[in-house]
Amino acid sequence: MNYCYRVRRLLPNLFSGLLFWVILMNASHGLGEPVILAFGDSLTAGFMVDAKDSYPARLQRLLDGKGYHYKVINAGVSGDTTAGGVRRIDWVLQHEPEIVIVELGANDGLRGLPIDEMRKNLGLIIEACQKKGAKVLLAGMEITPNLGAEYSREFKESFTLLAEQYNVPLIPFFLENVAARPELTRADGIHPLAKGYAIATQTVFKYLESMLKK
């Protein structure tokens, strides 16, 4: 009887303590830095460069140096297509990002996949982000005309059309001043070397800065 009485006396205190920790954990979560999610393929993942040289890592250092308090998460997967992006977007949105930089489509173009499907997939990704309240920065891509001038033109125009449709800012070409420059890319003319990523990071920041807050 004495044991049961002591337990009944302790229960309110245990409940109060548990409630305090729940409130504290929620408050701590709310005090965290807002997240910028770098969502893309190998160009985001940092193919064949040190992790510190990838554009998300460089962007983190650039933001820190300029006094912007954000946490940049690298959600790049080498070889990913826009269809792969659709399959995993809901999972990575668990990070509750404030901004998502969507860099996908290059692998669709390299494989000659239907442009309508690519555009549809990118639209679904943008919609998923906006549904979660995240702002989207869309990174445009270009491809060489080996699949035909019309395919290349429609591919490039798709990003502009999507930016207009969803009212999101657009980086016209993610690899501006980098692609096809042998001193800045690997032999394929696409994947940046470390110094190529330095330029790509500045390109991203140029269009990202207006979306940031201090």
Residue 30 pLDDT greater than 80, yes or no? no
pTM for the structure as a whole: 0.85
Is 64 designated active site? no
Residue 200 is encoded by which pair of tokens?
Answer: 């790509």
For residue 5, name the pLDDT band (cuts at 50, 70, 90): very low
Number of Cα atoms under 13 Å in the Cβ half of residue 138: 30
d(CA 119, CA 133): 21
Q: For residue 14, what pLDDT is reported?
A: 39
Whether the CB-CB separation of 169 and 207 falls below 8 Å is answered with yes
Q: What is the DSSP letter of 140?
A: P
* CA–CA separation, 176 and 48 (whole Å): 20
Q: Has 42 been annotated as catalytic?
A: yes
Instruction: Confirm whether 191 is a catalytic residue.
Output: yes
pLDDT digit string, tens, across residues 164-201: 999 999 999 999 999 999 999 999 999 999 999 999 99
> Residues 41, 42, 53, 158: which is the catalytic one?
42
CB pairs under 8 A, 24+ apart, for 49-52? 49/192, 49/193, 49/194, 49/197, 50/194
On the question of pLDDT at 76 being above 90, the answer is: yes
Q: What percent of the chain has pLDDT over 90?
A: 83
Q: What percent of the chain is predicted at pLDDT more than 70?
A: 86
Of the residues 50, 80, 188, 210, only one is catalytic, namely 188
